[in-house]
């Protein structure tokens, strides 16, 4: 007979314990049931009671056992014994590892100041918020993550400045939208940030109208009522033209606009010139089609806007975000059933300790003066500007940054302009990497720490991000090798450094998060598995919006105060057929990269057999006419090349892409290869991308999308491209002036 033990089911007959937890193979939050026998997980299945996924799992979640017990996982700390990048290591104890890290931090801070330490991380897993907390605790303002300026954070910062909070699509309630507009976003593949593709599927089953904005004919685009196949990098022009139609044709919600928005008249005046006829030659979308989409969006209610990171890959990203925020705002699709909604936020903001760092030290954050929304006074989550930070590492300008501590980021595969990233990492005096696997980035470290998978950690998961409609538990169920949870590692480093903050057990932080409104402790969440607060709409009617005017600021008073244009505008990508026509003669195609592959998450999981079987090799999409003109067919290898570098991928013939556009897969490296670079240069799309100015004036975003490229057939036997690196990466720190500490 089965015995119910709180959130644990014990099957006496089979001697199996089943525990509730949350899958984090991506940064979503699907509820799972972990079947444990003899202290080993033998099965993972979706939790049918969990409101986010209702028992379903994506391919990554279904294959999670191959991640947890992967033979390629790091199992113990290792110190470099050869040259950096040579691939020679020795096993050491955790005490030796901690002593070395603490010693290096103290030495570097003593010589160059607290700000000379760089703390890096990757996309949001369980330890994401702890990274900035740790950086603040040890005194450095220079922490970063690739997405702070290039993925998700521009939408967060733009929403906070415009509305006071990030709006989300809520699919856990009964009422669904009558229309969904998918803009640069394919949630059926990506299921991002806790906004599960499962919920989108449920909404689509009710046959809403759909509009898809995407250069590629995705499955959503094929079934859409309207598909706008825009030129990559021109999302801002399209959004402004739709605003023009809605306002000029008087399709906006007068009551909501009059009572709850600020700056409508100024917005109306701004978009007068952005007609569909103006936008058509820029976006490659027909003027009539733009009008049709705008009318459909404005007249069918309630509607949701599903937007993705595709809009955040050019320097125009922030004003694109601002333009898109205006669309639901002027049509009144805000915080009511079936529309964009604001979460209940039943847990307080994570204690990231920004308030504990003196203002003078905050001002040393690289990017503070130039990029106010990313790094400075308007930042919702202040982080360093990566190109400025990397320049400081290489040159010492404006001050030296000499030691790097990376928690869970394969920088050599995921940052833009990877050749520059390599030079940056090699220029550091000291690099520590905490990782699951020996990645190309880890191979450049001086010290490697083995960390825990999601099945081996205790933490709180709040999804969707910034809405927190469901609070779930992750709980440690097994111990693998000598692996330790990232938060525990950071806490121990802080204790040994003797700093004032970030020294309490992580569970105390989780208790704080849960006790404020939910009145719970972490051990109680373990017992429940998850909690879902009652959801309420129209919250703004009680207290207004969390902006200076108490309204949605179509005209941003905060941006105006910092000298940033308070209204959205159009900006042509700095590298394009129109802004750089001479370059386009040599590189005639427009490159897009970054679309999610359902088997992988960014650069992860290529060492998992089941997932790799689904996508064994990197592929690039070419229109049939393009392939014919190049003399290539499906399965041929081609070299995709830009001014910065080249990468090799296999041809996939795809009718759903413009003949002038090439789509290359990102995140590729080859864990099965024993060489220290693990094939990082062969098929890595970030050999093609740029980290150079101009940058977004608010967020510091650089151009990752809509770059110019050419495609050349290659034989599989040809040697792959590898950049010519200088013999020495010593930074030029001797010529800089002493930073005023």
DSSP string, 453-466: -GGG--EEEEESTT
* pLDDT value at 411 more than 70: yes
| Residue 298: its H or E element | helix 287-299
Does the pLDDT of residue 154 top 90, yes or no?
Answer: yes
In this structure, the answer to whether residues 226 and 133 fall within a common structural domain is no
- Domain boundary at 283, 307, 341, which? 341
Check whether residue 405 and residue 501 sit in a common domain: yes
- Mean pLDDT confidence for 556-581: 97
- Tell me the pLDDT tens digit for each residue of 301-353: 999 999 999 999 999 999 999 999 999 999 999 999 999 999 888 999 999 99
Three-state DSSP class for residue 469: coil
End-to-end CA distance of the chain: 68
pLDDT of residue 504: 98
Asked if residue 398 lies in contact with residue 392, where contact means CB atoms within 8 angstroms, the answer is yes
Residues 313 and 374 in one domain: no
Whether 284 and 365 share a structural domain: no
Place of tokens 């903050």: 501
CB burial of 711-738 (b: ≥16 within 10 Å; e: otherwise) equals beebeeeeeeeeeeeeeebebebeeeee
Which two three-digit tokens encode residue 616?
A: 């064994």
Give the pLDDT of residue 172.
72
Residue 464: asked if its preceding bond is cis (omega within 30°), the reply is yes
Among residues 294, 316, 341, the one where a domain terminates is 341
Residues near 142 by Cβ (< 8 Å), separated by ≥ 6? 115, 117, 118, 119, 135, 364, 365, 366, 384, 389, 401
**Is 613 in the same domain as 652?**
yes
Do the beta carbons of residue 30 and residue 23 sit within 8 Å?
yes
Last residue of a domain, one of 341, 373, 405: 341
| 562, part of any domain | no
In 3D space, the residue among 451, 413, 417 whose CA is nearest the CA of residue 435 turns out to be 451
Alpha-carbon dihedral sign for residues 336, 381, 696, 314: negative
- The pLDDT of residue 18 is 95
What whole-number distance in Å separates Cα of residue 166 and Cα of residue 341?
Answer: 9
The per-residue pLDDT for range 660-669, each reduced to its tens digit, is 999 999 999 9
pLDDT value of position 188? 85
Q: Is residue 91 a part of any domain in this protein?
A: yes
Q: What is the pLDDT of residue 6?
A: 42
> Domain range holding 638?
581-713
DSSP E strand stretches across 511-601: 530-531, 552-553, 589-593
Pairing of strands 470-474, 530-531: antiparallel
CATH code, domain carrying 174: 3.40.228.10
Q: How many of the other CB atoms lie within 10 Å of CB of 62?
A: 18
CA–CA distance from 684 to each of 95, 248, 443, 576, 632 (Å)?
36, 46, 17, 21, 21
Distance CA 598, CA 595 (A): 10
Report residue 10's pLDDT band, with 50, 70 and 90 as the boundaries. low
Q: Does residue 566 contact residue 557 with C-beta atoms inside 8 Å?
A: yes
- Within 10 angstroms of residue 27's Cβ, the number of other Cβ atoms is 22
Q: Is 741 a member of any domain? A: no
Q: Is residue 535 part of a domain?
A: no
Same domain (yes/no): 371, 498: yes
Two structure tokens written together for 707: 């770059």
Angle value at C-alpha 550, between 546 and 551, nearest 5 degrees:
100
Residues whose CB is less than 8 angstroms from the CB of residue 543 and which lie 6 or more positions away in sequence, other chains included:
none
Query: Rounded CA gap, 279 and 268, in Å?
Result: 16
Q: Do residues 346 and 185 touch, judged by C-beta distance below 8 A?
A: no
What confidence score (pLDDT) does residue 12 get? 54
Q: Which pairs count as long-range contacts for 692-696, CB under 8 Å and 24+ apart, including other chains?
A: 692/387, 692/417, 693/387, 694/315, 694/574, 695/315, 695/370, 695/371, 695/385, 695/387, 696/149, 696/154, 696/315, 696/316, 696/317, 696/318, 696/371
Same domain assignment for residues 284 and 370: no
Torsion of CA 300, 302, 306, 307, to 10 degrees: 80
- Note whether 301 and 180 are same-domain residues: yes
Res 336: pLDDT: 92
d(Cα 91, Cα 81) in Å, to the nearest integer? 10
CB 657 within 8 A of CB 216: yes
**For 236-285, how does the pLDDT look when each residue is reduced to its tens digit (9 = 90+)?**
999 999 999 999 999 999 999 999 999 999 999 999 999 999 999 999 99
571 within domain boundaries = no
Report whether 49 contacts 215 (CB < 8 A): no
What is the spatial distance between Cα 662 and Cα 639, in angstroms, rounded to a whole number?
12
CA distance 127 to 475: 14
pLDDT at 147: 87
What is the residue-wise DSSP string for 299-339? HS-SEEEEE-GGGGSSTTHHHHHHHHHHHHHHHT-BSSTTS
- The enclosing domain of 626 has a CATH number of 2.40.40.20
- Cβ atoms within 10 A of the Cβ of 89, count? 18
- Do 109 and 246 sit in the same domain of this protein? no
Report, as an integer, the average pLDDT of 12-31: 87
- At 460-499, the pLDDT tens digits run 999 886 666 899 999 999 999 999 999 999 999 999 999 9
Q: Is the pLDDT of residue 739 over 50?
A: no
Q: Are residues 333 and 376 located together in one domain of the fold? A: no
pLDDT grade for 516, boundaries at 50, 70 and 90: confident
- The reply to whether 396 and 421 lie within a common domain is yes
With respect to residue 60, please indicate whether it lies within any of the assigned structural domains. no
Rounded Cα distance between 352 and 333, Å, is: 32
The reply to whether 513 falls in a domain is: no
Tokens 């700056």 correspond to 263
Identify whether residues 185 and 146 lie together within a single domain.
no
Which class for 206: exposed (0-12), middle (13-18), buried (19 or more C-beta within 10 A)? Answer: exposed
Residues 119 and 410 sit within 8 Å (Cβ to Cβ)? no
Distance from C-alpha of 185 to C-alpha of 306, rounded to nearest angstrom: 7
Rounded to two decimals, the pTM is 0.95
- SS3 at position 136: helix
What integer best gives the mean pLDDT of the chain? 93
| % of residues, the chain, pLDDT over 90 | 86
Placement of tokens 């006496």 in the chain: 12
CATH number, domain containing residue 438: 3.40.50.740
pLDDT above 50: residue 741? no
Helix then strand then coil, in percent of the chain rounded to 5, is: 35, 20, 50
What tokens were used for 45?
A: 């299945």
User: Which are the contacts of 355, defined by CB distance < 8 A and separation ≥ 6?
Assistant: none
Tell whether 727 is covered by a domain: no
Query: SS in 3 state form for 14-25?
Result: CCEEEEEEEECC
Cβ neighbors of 468 (< 8 A, separation 6 or more) are 343, 344, 345, 346, 347, 462
CA gap 610, 613 in Å, rounded: 5
Number of separate domains in the chain:
3
What's the pLDDT score for residue 191?
Answer: 76
**Strand bridging mode 637-641 / 403-407:** unpaired
Q: Which residues contact 7 (CB under 8 A, 6 or more apart)?
A: 19, 20, 473, 526, 527, 528, 529
- Look at residues 176, 158, 171 and name the one whose alpha carbon lies nearest to residue 326: 158
pLDDT one-digit tens code per residue, 57-104? 999 999 999 999 999 999 999 999 999 999 999 999 999 999 999 999
Q: Are 254 and 265 in contact (CB under 8 A)?
A: no
Q: Which tokens sit at 121?
A: 């991380």
Q: What is the mean pLDDT of the segment spanning 209-228?
A: 97
Give the Cα separation of 741 and 400 in Å (integer).
Answer: 12
Helices (H) and strands (E) in the chain, counts: 27, 29
Cis peptide before 420 (omega within 30 of 0): no
């Amino acid at each position: 007979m089965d015995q119910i033990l709180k959130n644990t089911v014990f099957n006496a007959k089979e001697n199996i314990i089943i525990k509730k937890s949350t899958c984090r193979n991506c940064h979503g939050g699907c509820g799972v049931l972990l079947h444990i026998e003899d202290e080993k997980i033998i099965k993972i299945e979706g939790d049918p009671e969990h409101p986010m996924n209702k028992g379903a799992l994506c391919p990554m979640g279904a294959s999670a056992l191959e991640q947890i017990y992967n033979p390629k996982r790091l199992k113990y700390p290792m110190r470099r014994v050869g040259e950096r990048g040579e691939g020679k290591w020795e096993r050491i104890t955790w005490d030796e590892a901690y002593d070395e890290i603490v010693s290096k931090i103290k030495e570097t801070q003593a010589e160059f100041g607290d700000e000379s330490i760089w703390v890096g991380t990757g996309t949001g897993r369980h330890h994401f918020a702890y990274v900035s907390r740790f950086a603040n605790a040890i005194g450095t303002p220079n922490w970063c993550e690739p997405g702070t300026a290039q993925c998700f954070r521009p939408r967060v910062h733009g929403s906070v400045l415009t509305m006071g909070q990030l709006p989300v699509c809520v699919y856990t309630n009964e009422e669904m939208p009558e229309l969904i507009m998918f803009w640069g976003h394919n949630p059926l593949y990506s299921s991002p940030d806790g906004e599960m593709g499962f919920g989108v599927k449920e909404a689509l089953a009710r046959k809403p109208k759909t509009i898809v904005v995407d250069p590629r004919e995705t499955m959503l685009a094929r079934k859409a009522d309207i598909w706008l196949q825009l030129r990559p990098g021109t999302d801002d022009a399209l959004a402004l033209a739709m605003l023009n139609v809605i306002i000029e044709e008087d399709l906006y919600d007068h009551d909501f606009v009059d009572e709850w928005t600020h700056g409508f008249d100024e917005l109306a005046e701004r978009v007068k010139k952005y007609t569909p006829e103006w936008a058509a030659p820029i976006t490659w979308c027909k003027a009539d089609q733009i009008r049709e989409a705008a009318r459909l969006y404005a007249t069918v209610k309630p509607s949701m806007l599903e937007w993705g990171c595709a809009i955040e890959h050019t320097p125009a990203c922030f004003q694109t975000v601002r333009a898109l925020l205006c669309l639901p705002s002027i049509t009144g699709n805000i915080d009511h059933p079936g529309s964009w909604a604001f979460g209940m936020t039943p847990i307080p903001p994570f204690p990231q300790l920004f308030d504990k760092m003196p203002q003078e030290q905050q001002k040393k954050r690289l990017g503070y003066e130039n990029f106010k929304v990313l790094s400075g006074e308007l930042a919702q989550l202040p982080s360093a500007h990566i190109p400025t930070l990397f320049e400081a590492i290489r040159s010492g300008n404006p001050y030296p940054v000499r030691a790097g501590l990376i928690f869970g980021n394969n920088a050599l595969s995921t940052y833009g302009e990877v050749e520059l990233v390599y030079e940056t990492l090699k220029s550091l005096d000291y690099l520590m990497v905490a990782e699951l696997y020996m990645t190309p980035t880890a191979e450049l470290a001086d010290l490697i720490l083995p960390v825990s998978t999601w099945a081996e950690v205790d933490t709180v998961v709040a999804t969707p991000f910034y809405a927190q409609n469901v609070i779930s538990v992750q709980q440690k169920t097994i111990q693998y090798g000598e692996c330790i949870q990232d938060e525990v590692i950071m806490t121990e480093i802080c204790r040994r450094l003797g700093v004032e903050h970030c020294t309490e057990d992580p569970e105390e932080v989780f208790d704080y998060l849960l006790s404020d409104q939910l009145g719970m402790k972490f051990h109680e969440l373990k017992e429940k598995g998850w909690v879902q607060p009652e959801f309420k709409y129209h919250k703004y009617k009680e207290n207004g919006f969390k902006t200076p005017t108490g309204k949605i600021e179509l005209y941003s008073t905060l941006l105006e105060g910092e000298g940033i244009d308070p209204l959205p505008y159009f900006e042509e990508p700095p590298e394009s057929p129109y802004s750089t026509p001479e370059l386009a003669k040599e590189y005639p195609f427009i490159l897009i990269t970054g679309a999610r592959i359902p088997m992988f998450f960014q650069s992860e999981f290529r060492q998992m057999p089941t997932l790799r079987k689904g996508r064994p090799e990197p592929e690039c999409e070419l229109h049939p006419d393009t392939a014919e003109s190049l003399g290539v067919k499906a399965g041929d290898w081609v070299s995709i090349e830009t001014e910065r570098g080249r990468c090799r991928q296999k041809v996939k013939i795809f009718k759903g892409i413009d003949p002038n556009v090439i789509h290359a897969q990102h995140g590729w490296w080859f864990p099965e290869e024993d060489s220290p670079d693990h094939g990082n240069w062969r098929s890595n799309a970030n050999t093609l991308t740029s980290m150079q100015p101009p940058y977004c004036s608010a967020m510091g975003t650089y151009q990752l999308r809509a770059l110019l490229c050419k495609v050349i057939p290659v034989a599989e036997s040809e040697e792959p491209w590898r950049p010519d690196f200088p013999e020495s990466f010593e930074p030029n720190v001797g010529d800089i002036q002493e930073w005023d500490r």
